[in-house]
A and B are shown apart, each in its own frame.
Chain A
């Protein structure tokens, strides 16, 4: 199999950037998309040209490091699949494939296809945790977690923080990521004490970096872990509850 690649090259964050065209030859169905790029890079190096910079690490679809816009789709054409788990059998011989970095105001390009996603860490840092200093825990089975709650929490916790949701969103919104972390923690009994403070802190931090959600739903389509937008509804409900009543009733002040 052979492909024509149009790849975004950008030397540094301030460079205007441009598309460059490469031929990828001798491809096999069993190759992953990133192995295809590895091969292109080895050829570039042999030709004395700088290889294409892209992020990847585990190549098992779990670390969230990789992520490319492939023909305008975040992580490419296969549903529920990260870029590293996408294989060449999903492409046709002779096809032209356009490869870009995540495009979002909150994710500035560092070089070529690599972007800065530290805004996600800032959201988690603002409240995406349950305070439980080491050593303070009671016996694990003293906390009963109904199976449905544990399962729903786990569905949300499966987020890998890759940023596809933001890249796919016309608004560059970070709602799916933020709501997944909130749902993971807010659905569990252990997460109740900080539930409303957590929700306000994370939503407000999110708004410093990301656009607003207008319910396009592109995020859940792009999500390689198929996290549903139901969690955004839950986040909005918790945020409203928090602002309207809960904190005042409990006598808390900011």
Chain B
């Protein structure tokens, strides 16, 4: 059945030289030939917009797709805190090697070393590129760039633009993209959603899309296709992802033969606003940068209902500072999240539903003054106040962990190509750089690294081998077949005639995935989820109600297909979590912990990437393993004490 070979294609030689050697060894396409190649870029977040703009600058014909009304709406825009770059502008001992080391360690030794090293290398170029484009990073009075520190690091290497770094980086990439549109080198298709990846003779030859305004189903052919379609955190229903973020593009690629890796590596971000009630549609993140000046605590006593300012110092438990004296409130995300869960489960949570911990700025306000603290975090405080009606300058914030980022994704080799030739995955959509846990300010870095500095080289290498070959025309029967599948699917949902909305089933699915495959997992729960998810899916398929027609705008129809893919994915997340009999990073198996409750890895048996192959509806996927080799950073028990 399967002839999959997971070849990571990592170049030979010392890790410092691998990317340079690889770039030199790659085939080039001469400028006159570049325009003979068409590249399809799906998604216009940091990875997609950066890749589309850069490939167009190089001279390729680029067609770029987003289901938003404008490329600028992609969810990269919501990233708050910052972007790492190993510039060592602060002279505090940072280097490419240290960023590499921190990232491999932060990922709990489940990332591919060579990819991470390359990421750290190009991080310095990203900062240069963004400044040249006019990203208004924070400055010091002398006009130099300012930096802040971030979770999981002891140096200050994070560049930021107030609490809106993702917005500013995305606008930079969007503007670069729009310039290429104006030059006629990028054909931009907004409101156009990918619904299938088309293959011929085992190679990706194009995509099928649906225009979400008109309902038109259409095929597009390209020599290469880049999926830059983000992560799958909305499998939990409640997450910090945008309402429309979904796994559909990656999942349809998976169903066409692209392996899906490490699905259970999901990141639960420690600083989100706690849920308030059942009607909640999403959770809101409060930037991790707040942990620089905020101290996290809960009352020492159980059921202590006094207001925060009436709880004296001796009755407060600053549990992160107590458990992790050297990193304190800046412990990595997975550790900070689980610690919050532990104190809330003990019954020491705060707020009306006892589902939060305090993030307290009073000491910083005393030390730095009201104005300095407000200048740093004012916009975040305003956002918090709009949602909760409380002012963090006066009463401590309440925070709780929430699903935020997914480290797993489509398996890619060193060139970012999936197991389907010609099909690439960039940014959060791939699995490659963060291992089992992503450090703060590294998602923006990876999206832009893949888009500006990695894919433009590696895609060229692939295209060079196709010189003289035209695209497979959309008149080819492979496209007609794929279009028919898409149309049939829409017809099936519209004629289901059930009673409940797609939103309802998404919420129910999310509860299962969160309860059994959330911050903690165990064998019983996962096995239970693996029987309950298919049962719920069966009900969903019979009883979902999608009104209206396939023509024109139909948001329920858009949603129902995405929910269907989340069902399949949620199942894979549980299967992957069940297979991985160890704890690492964001994957915490209750059965595998140290005496003091920390994640216990099992390097002898599980130092591999778990990449799953689709076998068809209702049949469990097949596991393939890519063994991870650590030649430079010796795996140790992570310690942030």
Chain A residues proximal to chain B, CB less than 8 Å: 11-12, 28-32, 34-35, 38-39, 41-42, 45-46, 48-51, 53, 55-65, 78, 80-81, 85-87, 89, 110-111, 114, 116-118, 120-121, 124-126, 128-141, 143-147, 150-151, 153-154, 157-158, 160-161, 184-185, 188, 190-191
B132→A130 contact, CB < 8 A = yes
B63 within 8 A of A: no
Closest 8 CB pairs of A and B: A144-B143, A137-B132, A129-B175, A132-B132, A137-B128, A30-B276, A140-B131, A150-B139
In the assembled complex, B277 has its CB within 8 A of some CB on chain A: yes
Ordered by A's residue number, 9 sampled pairs between the chains whose C-beta atoms are within 8 Å are A28-B277, A45-B500, A55-B69, A57-B243, A89-B389, A111-B552, A136-B132, A146-B143, A190-B133
- Are B282 and A154 within 8 A (Cβ)? no
B452 to chain A, nearest CB (A): 5
Kindly state whether residue B383 has any CB partner on chain A within 8 Å. yes
Q: Does B137 contact A (CB under 8 A)?
A: yes
Whether A191 and B134, one on each chain, are in contact in the complex, defined by CB atoms closer than 8 angstroms, is: yes
Q: Which of B68, B142, B500, B555 contacts A65 (CB 8 A)?
A: B68
**Bound Cα distance A129, B57 (Å):** 14
Verify B143–A45 contact, CB threshold 8 A. no
* Residue B181, interface by CB 8 Å: yes
B503 touches A38 (CB 8 A): yes
Q: Complex: how many Å from CA A163 to CA B181?
A: 22
Asked whether B133 lies within 8 Å of A129 as measured between CB atoms, the reply is yes
Q: Is A129's CB under 8 angstroms from B179's CB?
A: yes
Asked if A45 and B57 make an inter-chain contact with CB atoms under 8 angstroms apart, the answer reads no
Q: How far is the CA of A62 from the CA of B73 in the complex (A)?
A: 9
Of the listed stretches B4-12, B163-171, B438-446, B564-572, name the one at the interface; the rest are far from the partner chain: B163-171
Whether B78 contacts A87 by the Cβ 8 Å rule is: no
Q: Is B593's CB within 8 Å of the partner chain A?
A: no
Interface members, chain B 539-574 (any A CB < 8 Å): 545, 547-548, 552-553, 555-556
Contact present for B133 and A145 (CB under 8 Å): no
Separation of A74 and B501 alpha carbons in the complex (Å): 29
Task: Tell me the complex Cα distance, A117–B191, Å.
Answer: 12
Within the complex, the shortest CB–CB distance from A50 to chain B, in Å, comes to: 5
| Residue of A28, A131, A157, A161 contacting most chain B CB atoms (<10 Å) | A157
Count of CB-CB pairs between chains A and B under 8 Å: 221
| Nearest neighbor of B556 in chain A, beta-carbon distance | A51
B73 with A65: CB separation less than 8 A: yes
Q: List B residues 117-160 near A (Cβ within 8 Å).
A: 125, 127-134, 136-145
B53 at the interface (CB under 8 A from A): yes
Q: Would you call B77 an interface residue if the criterion is a C-beta within 8 Å of the partner chain's C-beta atoms? A: yes
Tell me whether chain A's interface is mostly helix, strand or loop, or mixed.
Answer: loop
Question: Contacts of A125 on B, CB cut-off 8 Å?
Answer: 178-179, 181-182
Residues on B with beta carbons closer than 8 Å to the beta carbon of A191:
134
Q: Are A114 and B501 in contact (CB under 8 A)?
A: no
A58 touches B75 (CB 8 A): yes
| Inter-chain contacts of B50 with A (CB < 8 A) | 134
Cα of A145 to Cα of B133 in the assembled complex, Å: 13
Interchain CB contact (< 8 A) of B547 among A34, A48, A144, A154: A48
Q: In chain A, what residue has the closest Cβ to B545? A: A45
Q: Give which listed residue, A11, A134, A161, contacts B70 with CB less than 8 A.
A: A161
Judge whether A130 and B555 touch: CB under 8 Å: no
Q: A145 contacts B139, CB within 8 Å?
A: yes
| Contact call B190/A130, Cβ cutoff below 8 A | no
A184 touches B132 (CB 8 A): no
Interface string of B468-509 (1 = CB under 8 A from A): 000000000000000000000000000000011101100000
- The residue in B87, B134, B452 that gathers the most chain A C-beta atoms within 10 A of its C-beta is B134
Contact A45 B501 (CB under 8 A): yes
Does B367 belong to the interface (CB within 8 Å)? no
C-alpha spacing A71/B130, complex, angstroms: 41
